[in-house]
Structure 1
Amino acid sequence: MRRTFAITLCIVAAAALFVGLVHIVLVAAHLSEPAANTVHGLTIRRLWATAASLLALVAAVGGGISLARAFNRSHANSTRRFAFSALIAGSVAAAAGWLNLAYARGGPGTGNGVVGGAAAFVLGLVAVALGAIALARFRRTALNPRQTT
């Protein structure tokens, strides 16, 4: 029961941190004010931001998997592959999110995909960080095979 509660609490804390970071990115980009006229439906920029966010999410999951496998030497090839893919896909997603925020004219509701762009930027940076940590951990365990922690 305590473990389930701890996992749930960690998930809620991570979601709150993610929402806070997205809001900070929107405030820093001066795009946090809602639009006077809301655009409904899918626009090209919203589609771009959604694709970048999904790429960043996949990269973050791949980085998490590679970090979890970095402690086990039996998954050496897949660990490096996941870590490199998290680095590359996270970088691409963060750049796509940043470009979407850079060219946006207005805040949420304008059809520019600023929320998706900010989410892609934050998740892309998280994926790059996870991939880099996993590669560093993999290299450290590759140099010293007796080390387990």
Structure 2
Amino acid sequence: MSYPLLLAVSTVDAGTVTVDRVVATAAALTALAGAVLGGLALARSTGHRVTRRSFAALAAGVAGALVGLLVVATADGGPGTGNGVVGGYAGVVFGLVAAALGGLALFRSRRRA
């Protein structure tokens, strides 16, 4: 008995740029920038810049995570199909890290003031 070969519905080449991949990459980069800002704000836990960096990290993290989650939720296939699944998951992970770091830095700055 032979089984048919199962292929993904819409596979594209690795170098092909799709709209979903661009959106997922933007979400991941936004969330990564938020994680960097959150780390910087956490390293310096006093001052006015810390509060701005904390809010920026929190906002970038939440935005990156939500857009990444939207990309993953609307994807038709898995990795390699051009739907931006890998970038979406990266956006979710980096976004959660950024939100946690920004929130912790904000909590510390408010506590010391």
TM-score between the two structures when normalised by the length of structure 2? 0.88
Q: How far off is 1:35 after superposition?
A: 4.1
| Structure 1 unaligned regions, length at least 5 | 1-33, 143-149
| Pairing 1:1-149 to 2, within 5 Å after superposition | 35=8, 38-40=11-13, 41-70=16-45, 73=46, 76-142=47-113
Partner amino acid, structure 1, of 2:80? G
Percent identity of equivalent pairs: 54
Is the contact between residue 9 and residue 77 of structure 2 (CA under 8 Å) also seen in structure 1? no
Count of aligned positions: 105
> Counterpart in 2 of 1:22?
none
Is the contact between residue 97 and residue 116 of structure 1 (CA under 8 Å) also seen in structure 2? yes
Report the Cα distance in structure 2 between the residues aligned to 1:139 and 1:47, rounded to whole angstroms: 37
Q: How far off is 1:140 after superposition?
A: 1.3
Q: How far off is 1:36 after superposition?
A: 7.2
Is the contact between residue 57 and residue 123 of structure 1 (CA under 8 Å) also seen in structure 2? yes
TM-score between the two structures when normalised by the length of structure 1? 0.67
Structure showing greater relative contact order (alpha-carbon pairs closer than 8 Å, 6 or more residues apart) = 2
Report the Cα distance in structure 2 between the residues aligned to 1:59 and 1:118, rounded to whole angstroms: 16
Is the contact between residue 56 and residue 89 of structure 1 (CA under 8 Å) also seen in structure 2? yes
Q: How far off is 1:38 after superposition?
A: 3.4
Report the Cα distance in structure 2 between the residues aligned to 1:78 and 1:37, rounded to whole angstroms: 46
Query: How large is the RMSD of aligned CA atoms in angstroms?
Result: 1.4
Higher helix content, 1 or 2: 1
The runs of 4+ residues in structure 1 deviating greater than 3 Å are: 34-38
Is the contact between residue 97 and residue 117 of structure 1 (CA under 8 Å) also seen in structure 2? yes
